[in-house]
Copies of this chain bind each other. A is one copy, B any other.
Amino acid sequence: MREAFTAELDAISDDLVHLTRLVGSAMNRATQSLLDADLRLAEEVIAADEQVDVITAETEEKCFDVIALQAPVASDLRIVIGALRIASSLERMGDLAEHVAKQARMRYPAPAIPQELRGTFAEMGGIAEAIVSKTGAVIATKDVALATDIARHDEQMDHLHRELFTIVLSPSWKHGVEAAIDVTLLSRFYERYADHAVSVTRRVVTIVTGEPYAGVTLDAGR
């Protein structure tokens, strides 16, 4: 019974790591589609989100079956419930990558971001990639030391998000209201993506250490 439980937990963990790769690749390619105004790539990202939804649903079913069949209690149950929530967060990260790609598609053939913000979004994309890759590693290895790194990346993302407001609101902004709204929403998608990665990490840390992880702040709302 215990062995079966452990094997099923491993399978769920593998699914979650797989999901981090999928939503990591999605955000990475969405960023590329944004920077290159690449319609084909944007369409691919949008189409690929269905796979994320399917794997999330399968993972949730596995969690459900483990609870129903093995009736875990105490920390074992917390692990499975935690996995359910991690799956939800990862699915949402996939949605956010899809939103970025949709923005690229909506503005095509024009680029969705002005030249002077390409660096900012390239950097946001890089941080998103780093944060999701480390999130996958936390799930796979349970090495909670990586949580510090992840929190740092999240701070970098928040910093870029705030910096973007400064750029958009400066007198030198020449791209008008529509472009300002576009980049604000895009920036918020990246910021929320990082928040969800932090939230996933926090759940793993709570499971591993048995204590709530208070080292991060989430979603300041702007």
The chain A residues found within 8 Å of chain B, CB to CB, are 64, 67-68, 71, 73-74, 77-78, 81, 84-85, 88, 95, 98-99, 102-103, 106, 165, 168-169, 173, 176-178, 180-181, 184-185, 188-189, 219, 221-222
Contact = CB atoms under 8 A, between A and B. Distances in A.
Contacts of A95: 219, 221
Contacts of A99: 219, 221-222
A23 to B, nearest CB: 15
A67 B76 CA distance: 12
Contact of A98 (B84, B185, B189, B221): B221
B68 A74 contact: yes
15 contacts: A64-B77, A67-B81, A68-B74, A81-B84, A85-B88, A95-B219, A99-B219, A99-B221, A103-B222, A169-B178, A177-B180, A180-B180, A180-B181, A185-B222, A188-B188
A33 to B, nearest CB: 14
Nearest to A176: B177
A196 B98 CA distance: 18
- Interface SS, A side: helix
Contact of A77 (B67, B98, B168, B169): B67
B221 A102 contact: yes
A90 to B, nearest CB: 14
A85 B181 CA distance: 31
| A99, A103, A221 pick with most chain B CB within 10 angstroms | A221
A68 B64 contact: no
